[in-house]
Amino acid sequence: MIWIYRILFLPLFLISCPYYFGRMIRRGGYAKDFSHRFGCVPALPPRRAGTHRLWIQAVSVGETEAVVPLLRAFKERGDVEVVLTTTTSTAYKIIREKYADLVTAYACFPMDFLPFSAKAWRRFDPSAAVLMEGELWPEHIAQARSRGVPVFVVNARLSDRSFRRWRASGFIARRLLAQIDFFCAGTRNDFARFRALGVPAEKIALTGNMKFDAAAGDAFGKADAAALKKELGFPPDAPVLLGSSTWPGEEAMLLETFALARERIPDLRLLICPRHAERRAEIVALLEKTAWRWFLRSRTKPEDVPVAADVCVADTTGELRRLTHLAQLAFVGKSLPPNNGGQTPIECAAVGVPAVYGPAMTNFKDVCRSLEDCGAAVKVRDAAAAREKLLALLADPAARAEMSRAAQTWHRGNQGATARVVSFFESVFSGERARGK
């Protein structure tokens, strides 16, 4: 089967090139270390005796942030070398700027084509390969199998869409999944879905979602909040409405909500964090139709931030977790039609920020259901309902406080996945889990 993939890869890649190169140009940042994508990654020295070298692949920002607690745990051990790769330019920038000291080496993930993948494998020479969540790369996995290197999937998950696709692919899915040595499933639902696709129960463990551990982040006190608000031109006591990882159409709803809310809460401020910074021109076009004092965080020097700014567009990378601490209420993006899938509400819950989102949170179905059940978040049917619910909660501090307490309790109850994953790998390192068992 791998040879069919190898034969088809090149023509399919050439057909898709215009789309992917167009997206890379729009998002920017892909020129940095672009040669890595052709397998020209840093060559590492041979592994020291008694050490383990893990190649961890985290596709984008979310997966990269989720794996950080695991990187710290391995760093403390002292006998684990980690090579961390990622696919997107934003995630690669975050690794370089924030987490380079936690790994032995980092690079852009090579294209999943035989010569490029094989070259990277020769240069990294890992003793195990770890994939985050649901991205399974056939050539990458084939290279591991040819070298007798085990492959693990951590935070293993299957969205509704992915599950339908895997189930429809039948024999192909079973063959690829059979190449994986072990799955550390994020939720009971994910565990059940992998079982439904034919993965034996002895090759799956329910370890939980490491994003709960990652979202806790570092301590963030009142002094930190005051300093950050000053950077944004927000008064120290001003309440903040957050648009968390927003997508097209959602900023317009937030601006309408903000305008209505300001009539009753004159010191309210709006913080918009778009999921893709390259959409800034689209958001600016909306803001230019208003009379608000606004600015783009990425394009404004500290001395030029408007005094008592009304709206900040945080079109930056890797700041969402820190900025979430400032919010009294959040709308979670990619959840209003026609957007679909949703962005994670976990970071909001971790710091006790009540969350509102639309009906299309299919990528976080279990998370959202449990948040709603405990009263920490609210799902609405459309933009009008989102506006109505946000306005109601902005006007009701007591209701927000109750949701905040529920969110923090919920988050604490779901932590601990990293410790379980570390325990799993300790059993791997000690030889208790042989390949294929």
Which are the catalytic amino acids? 63
The percent of the chain in helix, strand and coil, each rounded to the nearest 5, is: 50, 15, 35
The SS3 call for residue 197 is: coil
Q: Which amino acid is present at 168?
A: A
Question: Quick check: 347 and 324 in contact, CB under 8 A?
Answer: yes
CA angle 65, 67, 70 (to 5 degrees): 135
The backbone torsions φ and ψ at residue 89, rounded to the nearest 5 degrees and listed phi first, read -70, -35
Adjacent-strand bridge partners of 132: 154
Q: Look at strands 151-156 and 52-57 and give their pairing.
A: unpaired
What does the alpha-carbon distance between residue 276 and residue 411 come to, in Å, rounded to a whole number? 26
As a whole number of angstroms, the longest Cα–Cα distance in the chain is 67
DSSP assignment string, 271-318? EEEESSGGGHHHHHHHHTTS---EEEGGG--GGGSPTT-SEEE---SS
Residue with tokens 């410790």: 419
Count of CB atoms situated within 10 Å of the CB of 120? 29
State the SS3 of 119-155: HHHHHHCCCEEEEECCCCCHHHHHHHHHCCCCEEEEE
Name the nearest CA neighbour of 75 among 100, 50, 43, 97. 100
Kindly state the tokens that stand for 87. Answer: 């696919």
Question: Quick check: 38 and 110 in contact, CB under 8 A?
Answer: yes
- Give the single-character DSSP code of 95: I
Residue with tokens 């459309």: 382
Adjacent-strand bridge partners of 329: 241
